[in-house]
Amino acid sequence: MADFFKVLSEVSRLQIVCSLKPGAKSVTEIIESTSLGQANVSKHLKMLTQAGVVSREQRGVSVYYQIANPFLFELCDLVYDALSVQVQQQNQHLEGLSSFRQVRK
């Protein structure tokens, strides 16, 4: 499990994963949608494929990549929601401190 999350912990790999949310894309399409370099995309696609996050399919002379299991986006949504709540709580705490500071002046 740690290896799975480690693979997803890199920003470029998350960009690639997000670019594949609508469906399968070729390497060229991934490069265009992420603005990452070809060598960088290829390296990250290899890691994502080895981790089972994406799968690849040969179509003629092109290789298309797609998300291997759509549960990945449900997982991302859960993490996003949890982080949003955490940020809201921190903002409320900071607002409370700011109010306290204003009262003391």
Residue pair 47/7 in contact (Cβ under 8 Å)? The answer is yes
Q: What's the pTM?
A: 0.78
Residue-by-residue DSSP string for 15-67: HHHHHTTTS-EEHHHHHHHH---HHHHHHHHHHHHHTTSEEEEEETTEEEEEE
pLDDT digits (tens, 9 = 90+) for 45-91: 999 999 999 999 999 999 999 999 888 888 888 988 989 999 998 88
pLDDT digits (tens, 9 = 90+) for 96-105: 777 766 665 5
